[in-house]
Amino acid sequence: MAKLIGGLGSSHVPSIGAAMDKGLTQTDDWKPFFDGIGPGRDWVAANRPDVAVVVFNDHGNSFFLDKVPTFAIGCAERYDPIDEGWGPRAIPSFEGHAELGWHLVDRMVENRFDPMIVQEIEVDHGLQVPMELFFGKPDTAWPVRVVPVFVNVIQYPIPLPSRCYELGQVLRKAIESFPGDERVVVIGTGGLSHQLQGARAGFTNPEADREFLRDIAANPGRLAALSREDYVRLFGSEGAELMMWLVMRGAMDPDVVVKHSHYYVPASMTGAGMLVLENRAA
Amino acid sequence: MEDRIPETPLFDRSRQRRGYRLNKMAMGLVDPANREAFRTDEEAYLDRFGLSAEEKQAVMARNWQEMVRLGGNVFYILKISAISPARMTEIGAHQAGMDHETFLRERLGKKPAGGR
C-alpha cells in the first residue's frame, strides 16, 4: 500500500515565485525568507517522495465565481501552470497521479465527503510556489507526481476549520489504502497572516503565526476548534487560508516530530512559513 | 459574517453578487486577447460586461478602494494591474488610505525605500 511519509506546510505567496523568476532571492527583502527553506528541500531530497498531494486554493484563475466547489480533487494525468494574466511562467507542467486522485475521490465519498471531480484544469501559484520551494524549479520535469486538492477559501461560505481537519483524516486512510508502493507527502499551503482587502490591508500577526506553527504540530485540536471568524481576526481576511494546513495535519498521526520550521515576515504583505512534520512512530 | 471584523470586507454573498460583473470583467483579462481589447478601448471592454457608470468610473480611475467597496475581490481586480502596473503593496496602501512609503513602514515594518 502507499505510504504517507510526511506532512509539509508552505506559504504560496505569488511574489515568492516572482522573486525566484527574477533572481531576487538574495536581496534584502527576500534573503531572510529564502535562507530558511534549505532544510525543507534537504528533507524532501533525503526522503524521496513519489507523490505530492497538494492542498491549496485557486485564486480566481482556474475557477471563476460561476462554479465554486468547496472541495475538488484533481484526477488528471497532467496539470499545466496557468497564465494568471501576466503571461505564462517558465515552469514545467505537473504530471498528475490520476489513479490516486480517483481513489481519493472514492474513499472521500464513502466517508461522506463529496468533492468535485476535475479531469481538466490548470493550476495557479497556490500549487506552483510550494512545489518550487520544496523541489526547486526543474528544467524539464518535476521529481514527483501531484494530486491537487482544491479548497474554496475565497467565496463565503468557506468550509469550517474542523471540516478541513476531518478531511485530512479521511485522506490519510485513503492514501494508505491505495494499492501501490508510492511514498506520499501531503502539502498544506497558504498563509500565514495577511490581508489584501479593506482598510486593514497590510495586517500581519507574527505572534499568532508563530503560535500557529507551534500548535499545528503540538496542538492541532486547538486550531481545528477555532471558527472561521477567529481565523480572519487572527490571520487576516486572506490569512484564513491557513486552515488548509489542517487538511495536511489531519492526515498525520496525533503525535508528530517537527523536522523543520521556518518563519519570516513580510514576504510581500504576508507572514511566510515552511514546516516539515513526520509521524513520531514512523 | 458581514463585516463583524472592522475594516475587513469578507467576500460574502451580498458582496460577491454585487461585484459579479466587475469581477467577471477582471477575470476576462487572463485572456491575452481581452488584455489587448482593454488596452485598445478600455470603456468598450468594460461595456461588454455591463458595468454601471459607478463601476466603470472606479475601474478607469484605478480606484482599488472603491472597486472593493463595489464588490470587487482583489484576486480578480488585481488582474487589471497586469495592464497598468500596480504592486500589491500599492493596492494595499490605497485601501489603507496611506501613501506607499508610510504603508510599507507602518504596516509591514519596512525601512524607507523598501521594495515589495
Quote the minimal CA–CA distance from B27 to chain A in Å. 7
Residue of chain A nearest B25, judged by CA positions: A64
Catalytic residue among A12, A59, A194, A260: A194
Complex-level ipTM: 0.94
- Say if A85 is an interface residue toward chain B (CB within 8 Å): yes
Give the sheet arrangement for strand A71-74, strand by strand. A116-118, A71-74, A145-151, A51-56, A183-189, A3-10, A270-279, A256-267
Closest in B8, B68, B82 to A232, CB measured: B8
Answer whether A73's CB lies under 8 Å from A108's CB. Answer: yes
- Would you call A194 a catalytic residue per the annotation? yes
Closest in B1, B110, B114 to A229, CB measured: B1
Mean pLDDT, 10 residues at a time, chain B of 116 residues: 79 96 97 96 98 98 97 97 94 97 95 56
Tens-digit pLDDT profile for residues A52-81? 999 999 999 999 999 999 999 999 999 999
Domain limits at A222?
A: 3-279
Cell of A215: 500548535
pTM: 0.97
> What does the pLDDT read at residue B1?
43
Number of separate domains in chain A = 1
- Would you call A125 a catalytic residue per the annotation? yes
Max CA distance (Å), chain B: 43
- Say if B12 is an interface residue toward chain A (CB within 8 Å): yes
- CB within 8 Å of chain B, chain A residues 89-108: none
Tens-digit pLDDT profile for residues A192-240? 999 999 999 999 999 999 999 999 999 999 999 999 999 999 999 999 9
Contact B92 A83 (CB under 8 A): no
Q: End-to-end distance of chain A based on CA atoms, in angstroms?
A: 15
| Total count of residues recorded for chain A | 282
Residues of chain A found within 8 Å of residue B1, distances taken between Cβ atoms: 156, 228-229, 232
Please state, as a whole number, how many other Cβ atoms lie within 10 Å of the Cβ of residue A156.
16
Contact A202 B92 (CB under 8 A): yes
Look at domain B1-85 and name its CATH class: mainly alpha
Residue of chain B nearest A229, judged by CA positions: B1
List the CATH number of the domain containing A147.
3.40.830.10
Residues of chain A found within 8 Å of residue B92, distances taken between Cβ atoms: 196, 201-202, 269
SS3 for A43?
A: helix
Optimal mutation site among A27, A84, A197, interface B, most CBs of chain B within 10 A:
A197
SS3 for B12?
A: coil
A282 band by pLDDT with thresholds 50, 70 and 90: low
Tens-digit pLDDT profile for residues A260-281? 999 999 999 999 999 999 999 8
Tens-digit pLDDT profile for residues A37-57? 999 999 999 999 999 999 999
- With a CB cutoff of 8 Å and minimum separation 6, the contacts of A250 are A164, A165, A166, A167, A168, A169, A170, A171, A172, A220, A224
